[in-house]
Amino acid sequence: MMNKRVQDGDGFRGTVRYEGPIHSKNQAQVYWGVEWDEPSRGKHDGATDGVRYFQTSRPSSGSFVVPDKVTLGRGILDALRERYMQNEHEDTLVAGKVATAGGNTKNIQLVGVQKIQGKQDLGVISKVSLEACKVAYIGNHGELLEAAPHIVELNLGFNLLSSWSEVLKLSSELPELEHLILSGNVLEYDVTESNPPAFSNVQVLVMNQTGMSWANILHICRAHFPAIRELYISSNGITDEMLHSTPSELLSPALEWIDLSHNQITDWTAISTALGGLPNLQQLALNGNQLAKLDARDMAGKFPALSTLSLSDNLIAGWSSIDALNALPALQFLRMTKNPLLNDMGAGESRMLIIARCQSLVAFNSSEIRAKERQDAEQIYLKRILHELVCFPEAERSKVIASHPRYTQLTAMYPEIQAPNSKDASGPSALARSLVRVTFIPMTMNATTMDEMEKKLPLTMKVSQVKLLVQKKYGLEEHNLSFLASKKSMPIPLDDDNEELSYYGIQDGGDLLINEAW
């Protein structure tokens, strides 16, 4: 019974770590010591009354049960027939999910129509979900092949499978299988054959929450999944040390998508070492780790095909990490929320700065970046850099420029944008350039009038002075202002009363939106 998977009456799953009597109880009674997947179901770490019977990997995740209080599961064919051959009138809605680059989940194409009638229909079924159906074993050789030989997508997530030798039986039973979900199964690698079976056609493998080490994952993919293209391995406790210690050459060069979300990765160097050499890797999800900094030096010559990167829910706190993304030659799509860098910014402000600092992005957080939005963002960003340069003495300006790697490129792209103290910034023409025409638009019903107001304002005007104008015109003592460069851009909050309008890159012809105070 050791390492077999069980499930109790409340649906909690666990692994048998001990079988035998307990010193403090009836010696004739056989108990199973179970390490539960959900630690709150347990009571101890495998020791009770001063005697250790087994050792759990997490504190208080173990307990003892009487064998007849849990189930050992059933065969896959029984589960398949029960789910798809019952004579019921209602539709069966089957939910199969995998992680997305955004850190959420998406439905995969699974059978979700009326339950199939008759044995002959199992012979044509191609997409199956048996998630949480207490499947523990595949059954006798040839039975599944005879009953349902054309399954292409199979979800066996959160069942009671306990060994890879059992899972590998599917390779001969389902020769057309392309998409396999094994999430939530704690699998022992017990394969000893010198020429073990392999899934020759499986391209998508989902093994979230399996507790597998990085080394085991690499070995399994290399030995048993030669055609793999997408690998989902979130929530497996994978660490920097694991990534550093195992040769990345074990990974298939054909891999196009890897999801390493919700692991324990803190160092981008570990990611670069393990995955940077994959020539066809296009999408990488790292949501929910503890990455604090990205370094362009760890990207040089790496990730040649990486076009989509997800970094939500990490610990990134500095703009240098965003600037480093320019070292990824193929990057086009970035998803990044819930990081310290962005926590104190509005959505419009953070979007504008990331677009301006990352030259190759075509979409951010799943929203397309149009040409006008990029131009507005880059011009506003350049104006902020110039404003910052003016505030520093000449001796320190090189440091400012170094903190904005795109500065030289942007000044070449937009030569009409000049620093306030540049040699051409004097006289009547400079005064004209320092004025911007904006339209005030009230967005709150508390305003005394809803009429729009057009005004020319000097770029040296402070936000606090602009608010006095709004208070006088619209009768709003407490309000917030946001700048909208164009109808297709996102509003940028003017959130510092002491800053000048030039800091926010206020452009001629834009709108100042007046909202209630937050």
Between 143 and 114, whose confidence is greater?
143
Residue type, 298: D
Q: Which pLDDT band, with edges at 50, 70 and 90, does 240 fall under?
A: very high
257/117 Cα distance (integer angstroms):
37
489/377 Cα distance (integer angstroms):
8
Q: What is the pLDDT of residue 90?
A: 47
Q: Which pLDDT band, with edges at 50, 70 and 90, does 119 fall under?
A: very low
Between 95 and 239, whose confidence is greater?
239
Would the pLDDT of 433 be above 70? Answer: no
16/54 Cα distance (integer angstroms):
10
Instruction: Give the highest mean pLDDT range of 105-114, 158-167, 476-485.
Output: 158-167
- Indicate whether 25 and 93 sit together in one domain: no
Q: What is the pLDDT of residue 106?
A: 59
Q: Which pLDDT band, with edges at 50, 70 and 90, does 23 fall under?
A: confident
- Spell out the SS3 assignment of 93-150: CCCCEEECCCCCEEECCCCCCECCCCHHHHCCCCEEECCCCCEEECCCCCHHHHHCCC
- What burial letters (b/e) apply to 339-357, b meaning 16+ CB within 10 Å? bebbeeebebbbbbbbbbb
**For residue 121, what is the domain's CATH number?**
3.80.10
Q: Which of 120-124, 191-195, 404-408, 514-518 has the lowest mean pLDDT?
A: 120-124
Would the pLDDT of 428 be above 50? Answer: no
Between 255 and 475, whose confidence is greater?
255
Mean pLDDT of the chain: 88
- Indicate whether 102 and 183 sit together in one domain: yes
pLDDT over 90 percentage in the chain: 64
- Indicate whether 64 and 97 sit together in one domain: no
Q: Domain containing 141: what range?
A: 73-236
- Indicate whether 200 and 113 sit together in one domain: yes
327/319 Cα distance (integer angstroms):
14
Give the end of a domain, one of 236, 253, 284.
Answer: 236
25/6 Cα distance (integer angstroms):
22
Q: Which pLDDT band, with edges at 50, 70 and 90, does 348 fall under?
A: confident
- Indicate whether 158 and 27 sit together in one domain: no
- Please report whether residue 193 resides in a domain: yes
- Indicate whether 37 and 61 sit together in one domain: yes
- Please report whether residue 156 resides in a domain: yes
Q: Which pLDDT band, with edges at 50, 70 and 90, does 421 fall under?
A: low
Q: What is the pLDDT of residue 351?
A: 94
Which burial class, exposed, middle or buried, applies to 450 when counting CB atoms under 10 A from its CB (0-12, 13-18, 19+)? exposed
Q: Which pLDDT band, with edges at 50, 70 and 90, does 429 fall under?
A: very low
Q: What is the pLDDT of residue 345?
A: 83
Could you count the other beta carbons within 10 Å of the beta carbon of residue 150?
14
- Please report whether residue 343 resides in a domain: no
**For residue 441, what is the domain's CATH number?**
3.10.20.90
DSSP for 50-93, please give it. Answer: TEE----SSTT-EEEE-GGGEE--EEHHHHHHHHHH---SSB--
- Indicate whether 20 and 60 sit together in one domain: yes
Q: Which pLDDT band, with edges at 50, 70 and 90, does 505 fall under?
A: confident
Q: Which two tokens stand for residue 129?
A: 């979900």
DSSP for 371-438, please give it. Answer: HHHHHHHHHHHHHHHHHHHHTS-GGGHHHHHHT-TTHHHHHHH-TT---TTSTT--HHHHHHHTEEEE
- Please report whether residue 48 resides in a domain: yes
- In angstroms and rounded to an integer, the radius of gyration of the C-alpha atoms of the chain is 30
Determine if residue 150 is left, alpha or beta; phi over 0 gives left, psi from -120 to 50 gives alpha, anything else beta.
Answer: alpha
- Spell out the SS3 assignment of 298-340: HCCCCCCCCCEEECCCCCCCCHHHHHHHHHCCCCCEEECCCCH
- Indicate whether 65 and 110 sit together in one domain: no
Work out the average pLDDT over 144-153.
96
- Please report whether residue 324 resides in a domain: no
Question: End-to-end distance of the chain based on CA atoms, in angstroms?
Answer: 61
Work out the average pLDDT over 253-258.
96
Q: What is the DSSP letter of 502?
A: G
Q: Which pLDDT band, with edges at 50, 70 and 90, does 121 fall under?
A: confident
Would the pLDDT of 116 be above 50? Answer: no
Q: What is the pLDDT of residue 420?
A: 58
Q: Which helix (H) or strand (E) holds 242?
A: helix 240-245
472/481 Cα distance (integer angstroms):
15
Determine if residue 168 is left, alpha or beta; phi over 0 gives left, psi from -120 to 50 gives alpha, anything else beta.
Answer: alpha
Q: What is the pLDDT of residue 149?
A: 95
Q: What is the pLDDT of residue 492?
A: 87
Work out the average pLDDT over 267-289.
96
Could you count the other beta carbons within 10 Å of the beta carbon of residue 77?
20
**For residue 26, what is the domain's CATH number?**
2.30.30.190
- Please report whether residue 291 resides in a domain: no
464/397 Cα distance (integer angstroms):
28
Between 276 and 436, whose confidence is greater?
276
Q: Which two tokens stand for residue 103?
A: 């850190």
501/461 Cα distance (integer angstroms):
6
- Indicate whether 174 and 229 sit together in one domain: yes
Q: How far is CA 265 from the centre of its chain?
A: 13
Q: Which pLDDT band, with edges at 50, 70 and 90, does 518 fall under?
A: low
Give the end of a domain, one of 193, 219, 236.
Answer: 236
Work out the average pLDDT over 197-213.
95
Q: What is the pLDDT of residue 89?
A: 45
- Indicate whether 465 and 411 sit together in one domain: yes
Non-local CB neighbours of 446 within 8 Å, separated by 6+ positions: 476, 516
Would the pLDDT of 101 be above 70? Answer: no
Q: Which of 248-252, 269-273, 417-421 has the lowest mean pLDDT?
A: 417-421
Q: What is the pLDDT of residue 113?
A: 43
Work out the average pLDDT over 482-496.
85
Total domains present in the chain: 3
β-sheet bridge partners, residue 484: 511
Instruction: Give tens-digit pLDDT for 329-338.
Output: 999 999 999 9
- Indicate whether 81 and 212 sit together in one domain: yes
Between 433 and 8, whose confidence is greater?
8
Q: What is the pLDDT of residue 431?
A: 43
Q: What is the pLDDT of residue 86?
A: 66
Would the pLDDT of 112 be above 50? Answer: no
- Please report whether residue 261 resides in a domain: no
Between 8 and 106, whose confidence is greater?
8
Axis crossing angle, helix 347-357 with helix 371-390, rounded to the nearest 10: 90
* Structure-token match 């495998």, residue found: 46
Q: Which two tokens stand for residue 57?
A: 């990997």
- Please report whether residue 290 resides in a domain: no
pLDDT over 70 percentage in the chain: 90
Give the end of a domain, one of 71, 96, 111.
Answer: 71
* Structure-token match 């404003």, residue found: 387
Output the CA–CA distances (angstroms, integers) from residue 310 to 341, 398, 495, in the order listed.
Answer: 15, 32, 28
Instruction: Give tens-digit pLDDT for 404-414.
Output: 999 999 999 99
- Indicate whether 407 and 488 sit together in one domain: yes
516/518 Cα distance (integer angstroms):
6
Q: What is the pLDDT of residue 423?
A: 46
Would the pLDDT of 417 be above 80? Answer: yes
Sheet with 5-8, side-by-side order of all strands: 62-65, 31-36, 13-20, 5-8, 70-71
485/490 Cα distance (integer angstroms):
8
What is the reported pTM? 0.81
